[in-house]
Structure 1
């Protein structure tokens, strides 16, 4: 079996698209998760890899070979999964502990690597993902700002509001009233760019 790492694979539709692509190329996916694919094949020819890379690129994805790039993509996938695909962050530990334990590296190394490659700090990336999720939750208008703050692991509404205003230029209530939320939302994989 071979494990492939795929950049920008951040949602269930992404997983379905990659699975279809693999099957169209005659490959046998064993497991597909966010950012990672395990296929049954033991080896892929350079021709098959080129076809796969071309097909993935057409869908907006990219296969990652470099160990450091895989680590960064895995960190992004973990952060996106926790923020966008869970009901509540309910973080008992801080992000530095979670990421260090998950990826078996000191947080300082992970943070430094992320910043050097992505041009944004790991902390800023997390904040921007949380603000993007807050925009989504505001757009659907099903939760109060207090519930959104709790769900995203903020200590208070004031803390969420301050970060929200710093990133978007508007307070959450101003953005909600303006009804321009759909114009300021970004795809998850472009947050931080």
Structure 2
């Protein structure tokens, strides 16, 4: 049985969910961001236990189709932005999402905006800025390297979006060394 799980946005989340499910006797066939494939279909009592276990660990079992679709969009964007290697974020996001999910982009866009209170594009920008904050905080890359890694056309473009989103330039942020970073599942709309 495939379960979709909200707030499962990092490798640590994957480990926690897998470990907790196995503790209660569930066999996990596969697991990735936002999804767990169980060996068997849990009965009603087991499903309630799974829901409770997930909630105790800050996750939520998604049960309606629209919530699952929104969580898939978020997870796809998070995976794109937060990969370790540079990624081509210049791809057409609308084409990528609609072809991968096999759903018309205008439907995805309207659904996402109505549930999250922001556009998909704004969510992508917010994720990119959070990743930029992380990279600036760790001080291992130049702003030029950060801009390249996040798919910005230039440092000026990164700086402009960074200032518009945070109120600070990347250089001002770096001087503060106060990360003001958010957990990935708290970035964006109505959390």
The TM-score bracket by the shorter chain reads: over 0.9
Superposed, 1:46-125 pairs within 5 Å as 46-91=44-89, 93-125=91-123
TM-aligned CA deviation for residue 90 of structure 1: 1.6
Give, in angstroms, the shift of residue 94 of structure 1.
1.5
Structure 1 position 91, deviation (Å): 3.6
CA deviations on 1:100-143 (whole Å, 9 max, x unpaired) are 11111122111111001111111110000000000000001111
Could you tell me which runs of 5 or more consecutive residues in structure 1 were left unpaired when the two chains were aligned: none
Contact kept? 2:90, 2:151, Cα under 8 Å: no
CA RMSD of aligned residues (A): 1.0
Q: Hey, what does 1:29 align to over in structure 2?
A: 28
Q: Given the two structures, how large is their TM-score scaled by the length of structure 2? A: 0.96
Runs of 4+ in 1 over 2 A off after TM superposition: none
What secondary structure does 1:31 align onto? strand
1: CA distance, partners of 2:16 / 2:173: 33
CA distance in 2, matches of 1:113, 1:146: 35
Between the aligned partners of 1:118 and 1:5, the Cα distance in structure 2 is 18
Find the counterpart in structure 2 of residue 142 from structure 1.
140
Q: Name the TM-score, length of structure 1 as normaliser.
A: 0.95
Aligned partners of 2:88 and 2:141: how far apart in 1?
16
Count of residues in Structure 1 that have an aligned counterpart in Structure 2: 189
Any idea what the Cα deviations from partners look like across 1:2-59, whole Å, max 9, x if unmatched?
0000101011111111011111111100001110000100x22111111111110010
